[in-house]
Amino acid sequence: MTLFQILAWALPAVIGLATLEALVLTFVFKRPYNWRSWAASVTDALARDYVVGAIVTIGFVGPLIGLAWAHRVATVPLGSLASIAVLFVGQEFSYYWYHRAAHRVRWFWATHAVHHSPSEFNLGIAYRFGVTGKIAGNSLFYVPMIWLGFAPSAVFATLSLNLLYQFWLHCEWIPKLGWFEYVLNTPSHHRVHHASNSDYIDKNYGGVLILFDRLFGTFAEERADLPCRYGLTVPLVSNNPLKIAFHEWLKMANDLYAARSLRDVLLHLFGPPGWRPAAAGGTLRALSFEGSVNEESDHRDQPLRRVGA
């Protein structure tokens, strides 16, 4: 079986494993499980891969990918362990900066907010990525790898394996894993990434590795005295797939409609999520998990509500 055949079977496999976890948690451990959230995630994944993916094949970054490959600096063959290692580390580095931008730049956050919308943390949320990734141009962050000489098929196959690795990170029942925690992204690190606690927010962006977070100051360790609270700081109390997919885009559209200057337009598009003009009582100290936050009105530590219908 080839790599691409494995990736083709990945989505049915991970949905099956997530469903198995849900059944075990529900009927063996008697834990509450949000099956409507499970259904919303499955709908998102199927719509993204089999509907939107069939219509939007390359997105607006496609021409840039072709241009980068046509004018590449070199052609890097993948016939050695050294070249494969460089591809892996380079893709991981690119993913780190994409993921960081997806939290700090509102245009990319509008899609990525979908992944952070559940107020629970289980395997069933792992493949909830949103249907607007190609439209938003998420692939832009991998163009430099292609320009340097790595074939687009190799770069995006490596990215797919990176995302496939991250599937198992979305669970609460795996404890810390000893020395692996120093090098790899683990369930413990990823629980922190999905948490909306003020001490955890916007941390642990790595895919397979946690090394770039340690290097660039975005690492936070899960603490026994601070349980993770999941979801957006302003909870999205809905399991409607359409609302989940487009709620942040609609908010951004409303802000753009109300903008009174080109500066406001640009900052609503590419500033931090939640940025507001000073005249509206906003602040540049905005957070990626929604809503402008200031010193007098910090809602990040308020309890999250359970997701409803």
CB 194 within 8 A of CB 289: no
CB 190 within 8 A of CB 126: no
| DSSP states of 224-266 | TTS---BS-SS------HHHHHHHHHHHHHHHHHH--SHHHHH
Q: Which residue has the higher pLDDT, 78 or 8?
A: 78
Rounded Cα distance, 169 and 208, in Å: 10
Over residues 285-293, the mean pLDDT reads 40
Confidence check: pLDDT of 142 > 70? yes
Over residues 18-38, the mean pLDDT reads 96
Reported for 84-91, long-range contacts at CB under 8 A and 24+ positions apart, including other chains, are 87/145, 87/150, 87/154, 87/155, 87/158, 88/158, 88/208, 90/145, 90/148, 90/150, 91/142, 91/145, 91/155, 91/158, 91/159, 91/162
| pTM of the shown model | 0.89
pLDDT-based confidence at 3, cuts 50/70/90? low
pLDDT of residue 244: 97
> Within 13 A of 9's CA, how many CA atoms are on the CB side?
7
- pLDDT over 90 percentage in the chain: 79
Angle at 154 between CA 4 and CA 216, to 5 degrees: 120
Task: Tell me 307's DSSP state.
Answer: P
Confidence check: pLDDT of 303 > 50? no
Strands annotated E in the chain: none
Range with the poorest average pLDDT among 9-18, 55-64, 129-138, 281-290 = 281-290
pLDDT-based confidence at 256, cuts 50/70/90? very high
Over residues 101-108, the mean pLDDT reads 97
CA-nearest of 264, 266, 270, 300 to 282 is 264
Over residues 10-17, the mean pLDDT reads 95
